[in-house]
Amino acid sequence: MNRKRIYFDMDGVLVDFESGVAKLSDEVKEQYKGHIDEAPGLFALMDPMPGAIEAVQLLAKHFDVYILSTSPWNNPTAASDKMEWVKKYMNNIFHKRVIITHHKELLKGDYLIDDRGKNGASEFQGEWLQYGSEQYPDWDAILEYLLM
């Protein structure tokens, strides 16, 4: 049986970006003001978005699931920090199922859950479910749509 494929963005979808920023020192915040996503270690500090882990666990029972994220070009630790986060919170689901790219439109799949249309998300060939939008404001709305 071929299962439909879902890609999950990390920042703002699985991961609460602001929770990581809040854990940075004032000195680091000042040093990286205006480009905070370049702060080394930032992406490993973030907390999961409310309901994200439970939603992904449920969706993984019905779909072929992958993480599809972008790593800031000028942050040398971002990709490894993201992997550290995945291993900490969701290794059992996404073990060897993480794709880092600035061109999300190149991937084949049925659904992309992403909060922004950047890095090719809005040109994704499957269906883009914009997390945080009026139509999909939270994980409950995403689950209702995908599991209906």
Q: Which residues are designated catalytic?
A: 9, 11
Q: Which ranges of the chain does DSSP label H, i.e. alpha helix?
A: 17-22, 26-31, 52-59, 78-94, 139-146
Alpha carbon distances (Å) from 35 to 21, 40, 124: 11, 11, 26
Q: Is 108 helix (H, G, I), strand (E, B) or coil?
A: coil
Residue 66: partners with Cβ closer than 8 Å, 6 or more residues away = 5, 6, 7, 8, 94, 97, 98, 99, 109
| Of residues 127, 4, 133, the one with CA closest to residue 62 | 4
